[in-house]
Amino acid sequence: MIDETSIQVGQEMHRFIADLFPICRSITGDGVRDTLCLIGKHIPVEIHEIPSGTKVFDWIVPKEWNIRDAYIKNTKGERIVDFKKSNLHVVSYSQPIQRKMAFGELQSHLYTFPDRPDWIPYRTSYYKESWGFCLSHQQFKEFMDEEYEVCIDSTFEEGHLTYGECYLRGETTQEILISCHICHPSLCNDNLSGIALSTFLAKALSLESLRYSYRFLFIPGTIGSIAWLALHEGQVSNIKSGMVVTGVGDPGAMTYKKSRQGNAEIDRAFSHILKASGKKHSIIDFFPYGYDERQYCSPGFNLPVGCFMRTPHGEYIEYHTSGDNLTFVRPEYLEESFICCLEVLTLLERNKTFLSQNPKCEPQLGKRGLYRAIGGESEGAKREMAMLWVLNLSDGNHSLLEIAERSTISFDVVYKAADVLSEHGLLKEVTC
């Protein structure tokens, strides 16, 4: 699968991120719809709308929030904070407001980073009625003790929570879930990089004939995964593996956070691929914080869903600031992340379990032309060792990944060995 992928994918992902960047997304509203519409230009996305007020487990789908404009004007009538310049300026889910007020009153609604004076913070207030502006500390320092005109032209209405779904049907109904959040405004690594990676993975896979079915979810964080799980409780048992993708474009090392199960196939697949990559990486244990893996791995579901990222959230200073922009995420890192995920999915597709058809003693490889004529070439020796390992461990209890783990041969070489042995009738797939 990997070979057919254009090596230009990093550039294309970055361009797609640039297209999505200006849209003001939140957990509901037209920003999400516009985002899904752009995704739909690359892959087939089915759009779902869940009405406000729908009870989903312990939560209720909130009212839909939309915003048209927002600003703070000084006495000269100048927009000194302007939503049109950056949609981070408004605290997400801010109540509408339109009136003049003294700086003293306004001040408690302003958020800045005094220690990173050029950057605008990103803040939300989904479940508490409130309003506010985020601005750079430079801007803040120009405020004076005078009256300001404050306007947030937002609406809260009974509407919908919107999410998108791309389902690729494979040979079996067993499925692999790939989930990303689409609820952040102009933030690149946290949110857009995951959207881009999911989109381009779906694009790449849609060209292949697949063993598993694949479900890509483009959902608002937390409430989105909770809503999806609540409305599809009956079908989660189809999920064989899954991953949340987020923060995959920054320069940090690739990081895989294991599922709550800790030793699921997806956990072992990421561990194997990252180790085999020879690149600096990090494999961390599950903890009940972070992204939507919190919901997928809640005890009542306990799904084999991990989280793939680069630098974990909160561990880079650009996190949840205007510093998380188009300069921060780079095509080369997006591409590296993309290739890692595609290799993991390729591994899952290929990770079958076989039964040696000659379990008693080794079969005679030489008479089948599977042995080097005269020894010496080291590539051939590796291939032979892989064949011997596959034959030795194909007792129905070891998948190819487990054989790769035990032999410390890369999955790819093990897979090719199994393929050759199958062609010669020496292995038969175990179906269970």
Residue labelled with tokens 């005890």: 299
Output the six-digit token pair for 353. 């379990």
Nearer residue to a second copy within complex by CB, 171 or 395? 395
Nearer residue to a second copy within complex by CB, 171 or 377? 377
The answer for 322, left when phi > 0, alpha when psi is -120 to 50, beta otherwise, is alpha
Nearer residue to a second copy within complex by CB, 179 or 346? 179
Site size for a second copy (CB under 8 A): 44
Q: Which DSSP helix (H) or strand (E) runs through 160?
A: strand 160-168
From candidates 9, 161, 226, 418, binder to a second copy by CB under 8 A: 226
Collapsed DSSP state (helix, strand, coil) of residue 386: helix
From candidates 4, 108, 234, 373, binder to a second copy by CB under 8 A: 373
Output the six-digit token pair for 222. 């937390």
Nearer residue to a second copy within complex by CB, 21 or 131? 131
**Does 18 contact a second copy by CB under 8 A?**
no
Nearer residue to a second copy within complex by CB, 333 or 354? 354
Q: How far is the CB of 224 from a second copy (least distance, A)?
A: 11
Residue labelled with tokens 């920003």: 31
Residue labelled with tokens 């985002």: 35
Nearer residue to a second copy within complex by CB, 271 or 407? 407
From candidates 358, 380, 402, 422, binder to a second copy by CB under 8 A: 358
E strands of 211-318, at which residues?
A: 213-219, 239-245, 254-257, 281-284, 305-309
The answer for 350, left when phi > 0, alpha when psi is -120 to 50, beta otherwise, is alpha
From candidates 46, 359, 423, 429, binder to a second copy by CB under 8 A: 359
The answer to whether 291 and 307 have CB atoms below 8 angstroms apart is yes
**Does 178 contact a second copy by CB under 8 A?**
no
Binding characters for a second copy, 72-111, by CB under 8 A (x = yes) = ----------------------------------------
From candidates 215, 272, 294, 350, binder to a second copy by CB under 8 A: 294
Q: Which residues contact 66 (CB under 8 A, 6 or more apart)?
A: 29, 30, 154, 155, 157
The answer to whether 26 and 187 have CB atoms below 8 angstroms apart is no
Residue labelled with tokens 């048992």: 237
Q: How far is the CB of 154 from a second copy (least distance, A)?
A: 20
**Does 423 contact a second copy by CB under 8 A?**
no
Other Cβ atoms within 10 Å of 222 Cβ, number: 17
How many angstroms from the chain centroid is the CA of residue 49?
Answer: 21
The answer to whether 201 and 337 have CB atoms below 8 angstroms apart is no
With 0-12 / 13-18 / 19 or more C-beta atoms within 10 angstroms meaning exposed / middle / buried, residue 147 is: middle
Q: How far is the CB of 249 from a second copy (least distance, A)?
A: 24
**Does 300 contact a second copy by CB under 8 A?**
yes
Q: Which DSSP helix (H) or strand (E) runs through 68?
A: strand 64-73
**Does 246 contact a second copy by CB under 8 A?**
no
**Does 393 contact a second copy by CB under 8 A?**
yes
Q: Which stretch binds a second copy (CB under 8 A): 13-21, 62-70, 303-311, 365-373?
A: 365-373
Q: Which stretch binds a second copy (CB under 8 A): 20-28, 249-257, 386-394, 412-420?
A: 386-394
**Does 430 contact a second copy by CB under 8 A?**
no
**Does 58 contact a second copy by CB under 8 A?**
yes
| Helical ranges in 278-377 per DSSP H | 293-296, 331-350
Nearer residue to a second copy within complex by CB, 278 or 300? 300
Q: Which stretch binds a second copy (CB under 8 A): 168-176, 177-185, 207-215, 284-292?
A: 284-292
The rounded distance, in Å, linking the Cα atoms of 301 and 178 is 16
Q: How much of the chain is helix, strand and coil, in % rounded to 5?
A: 35, 25, 40
Q: How far is the CB of 405 from a second copy (least distance, A)?
A: 12
Residues forming the site for a second copy (CB under 8 A): 56-59, 127-128, 222, 225-226, 229-230, 233, 260, 287-289, 294-295, 297-302, 356, 358-364, 366-367, 373, 385, 388-389, 391-395, 407
